[in-house]
Amino acid sequence: MRAEQVRRKQPPGYDRRCRELSEEEHAQKEAEGLTPVVRFKIPLVGQTRFSDVVWGEVKFENNTLDDLVLLKSDGYPTYNLANIVDDHKMEISHVIRGEEFISTTPHHVLLYKALGYEPPQFAHLPRLMGTDRSKLSKRHGAVSIEEFHKQGYLPEAMLNFLALLGWSLDDKTELMTRQELIASFSLERVKKTPASFNREKLDWMNGVYIRSLDPEDFLQRSLPFLERDLPPEVVRPLPVDYIRQIMPLVHERAKTLADVPELTRFFFTVQLDYDTELLIAKGMTVESTHHALEVARQQLAELPAFDAESLEEMLRPLAVELELKTGQLFGALRTAITGQTAAPPLFQTMAVLGRETCLERIDRALDRL
RNA sequence: GGCGCAUUCGUCUAGCGGUUAGGACACCUCCCUCUCAAGGAGGAGAUCACCGGUUCGAAUCCGGUAUGCGCUACCA
């Protein structure tokens, strides 16, 4: 019947053919072996209205409502019936659910009344959509909260971000703690328009929350990600005391906890893999780079204390001595020592890595040139 | 097809009759600076989907159009 209606471009739905069966007709159908369902006889005229915290006063014409099934042919109640009875028995005061239920709400209201129940307060929330305005689904952008956790997002950042989907406090407040959220959230300020996920903004917000973590907390939360994502050749268990020295160097550089392994990888791997070209800073040649690294290597080997401060006190004058810009000398050293052109501050990085490792890496860079 | 809802900078949004249409992300410039970040200071970016109407005055109220979305099960 349904297919037929669609084909004829008729509104699909129950045609009420059995709404007014007589006793005889009823008996006859049963004699034919038909197992009936029980439907809700919706009033044919008038309108049903209810007030929704988000939607305001909502009004539906009764003649657009169809006679929904209350009891299935197997005798079990449908969701629509069970839902109402259950909510009533549980003394539910507020029904807060997705906007897609707004259309069936008048049926529910009518049912509450038919059963002599007092309808609860309704609040229909806007749907969440993907960045491209498409519906969020498992195969399209949407991920479970566990998935976000795996991707390195902090629970407190997620809570803050999610709260802002479909709701806002005012025209400027964005960052709110859990307590502030609890204190200021209100259904009245929830909007009807579908909210959509802005991943870039989530990344930014997560970064804000990561930076607000105290060092030890950041370390503890990062550990599982390091265990999971650092290359397999890095020996486990990971040296926590060593990591404790590394973490402050990448703390403000991580947008997610999942970034941490990538940002710190060179602290753990023995073999650095990089393009030799990267050693040669702008305005320099193979020769000048080789010379600079050689002199630096020699002085580093003799430096009394290998800490960040001493390193800086030694390397800055060296740049002048070599007639190089600091960026040129430091750039060459950075690539030699980290294998990257973008990395945490050089002196602190060197201090954490230690003299032996730094010298080895410079030697290896010299071999390449 | 029917019913309902929505449409404001690139993006997420504030706004509920009178605002220079506010904020955030992203972007650009400058400062800081050994790179990258972070931080600071600026900048650009919106004829408020379109067409009418009401009003002294409309992003805000009312029609219509367009587009998008939801619902339209013997599923929950």
CA of A40 to C1' of B66 (A): 38
Least confident of A3-7, A12-16, A269-273, A324-328: A3-7
Other beta carbons within 10 Å of A320: 11
pLDDT at position A240 is: 97
Please spell the DSSP secondary structure of A186-226, one letter per residue. Answer: -GGGB-SSPEE--HHHHHHHHHHHHHTS-HHHHHHHHHHHH
CA atoms of A213 and A191, how far apart (whole Å): 32
pLDDT at position A215 is: 97
Our answer to whether residue A282 is catalytic in this structure is no
Helix (H, G, I), strand (E, B) or coil at A123: strand
Stated length of chain A: 369
pLDDT at position A142 is: 52
Residue nearest to nucleotide B11 (CA to C1'): A198
In this complex, the nucleotide whose C1' atom is nearest to the CA atom of residue A346 is B34
- Provide the 8-state DSSP code for A168: -
* Residue A161 phi, psi (nearest 5): -65, -45
CA of A124 to C1' of B46 (A): 30
Contact A293, A362 (CB under 8 A): yes
CA of A347 to C1' of B58 (A): 62
Give bridge partners of residue A60 from the DSSP assignment.
A48
CATH superfamily ID and name for A145-209? Glutamyl-trna Synthetase; Domain 2 (1.10.1160.10)
In this complex, the nucleotide whose C1' atom is nearest to the CA atom of residue A169 is B14
CA atoms of A343 and A359, how far apart (whole Å): 18
> What dihedral angle (degrees, nearest 10) is formed by the CA atoms of A22, A26, A31, A36?
170
- Provide the 8-state DSSP code for A12: P
pLDDT at position A201 is: 94
Stronger pLDDT, A369 or A8, i.e. the higher one: A369
Helix (H, G, I), strand (E, B) or coil at A161: helix
Residue nearest to nucleotide B39 (CA to C1'): A252
Q: Say if residue A132's pLDDT is above 70.
A: no
CA of A327 to C1' of B58 (A): 58
What does pLDDT average to over chain A? 91
Q: Would you state the structure tokens that stand for residue A312, as one six-digit string? A: 């800086």
Contact A266, A361 (CB under 8 A): no
The amino acid occupying position A29 is K
In this complex, the nucleotide whose C1' atom is nearest to the CA atom of residue A71 is B74
Side-chain-side CA neighbours of A158 within 13 Å: the count stands at: 14
In this complex, the nucleotide whose C1' atom is nearest to the CA atom of residue A319 is B34
pLDDT, one tens digit per residue, over A287-297 is: 999 999 999 99
pLDDT at position A32 is: 85
CA atoms of A259 and A308, how far apart (whole Å): 25
Alpha-carbon distances of A78 from A198, A251, A310, rounded to whole Å: 37, 53, 76
pLDDT, one tens digit per residue, over A220-249 is: 999 999 999 999 999 999 999 999 999 999
Bases of strand B lying below 7 A from some protein CB: 1-8, 10-15, 22-26, 34-39, 68-76
CA of A94 to C1' of B68 (A): 30
Residue nearest to nucleotide B37 (CA to C1'): A253
Alpha-carbon distances of A222 from A104, A151, A201, A227, rounded to whole Å: 46, 12, 21, 9
Pick the CATH number of A39-125 from 2.102.10.10, 2.40.50.100, 3.30.540.10, 3.40.50.620: 3.40.50.620
| Residue found by looking up tokens 């294998």 in the block | A339
pLDDT at position A127 is: 87
CA of A103 to C1' of B51 (A): 30
- Tell how many helices (H) and how many strands (E) occur in chain A: 16, 8
Residue nearest to nucleotide B36 (CA to C1'): A342
Of A138, A172, A191, A201, the active-site residue reads A138
Q: Say if residue A344's pLDDT is above 90.
A: yes
CA of A176 to C1' of B22 (A): 19
Residue nearest to nucleotide B12 (CA to C1'): A198
* Percent of all residues in chain A with a pLDDT value above 70, rounded to a whole number: 93
Q: Would you state the structure tokens that stand for residue A167, as one six-digit string? A: 């709701």
> Domain A276-368 belongs to what architecture?
Orthogonal Bundle (1.10)
In this complex, the nucleotide whose C1' atom is nearest to the CA atom of residue A172 is B23
b vs e for A53-91, b when ≥16 Cβ sit within 10 Å of the residue's Cβ?
bbbeebebeeeebbbbbbeeeeeebbeebebbeebbeee
pLDDT at position A196 is: 82
In this complex, the nucleotide whose C1' atom is nearest to the CA atom of residue A338 is B35
Contact A61, A47 (CB under 8 A): yes
Q: Would you state the structure tokens that stand for residue A189, as one six-digit string? A: 């300020």
* Residue A195 phi, psi (nearest 5): -95, 145
pLDDT at position A34 is: 83
pLDDT at position A129 is: 78
Q: Say if residue A7's pLDDT is above 90.
A: no
- Tell whether ipTM is more than 0.85: yes
pLDDT at position A22 is: 85
pLDDT, one tens digit per residue, over A77-118 is: 999 999 999 999 999 999 999 998 999 999 999 999 999 999
- Provide the 8-state DSSP code for A167: B
pLDDT at position A23 is: 86
Whether the upstream peptide bond of residue A194 has omega within 30° of 0, thus cis, is no
Confidence band of A5 (pLDDT split at 50, 70, 90): low
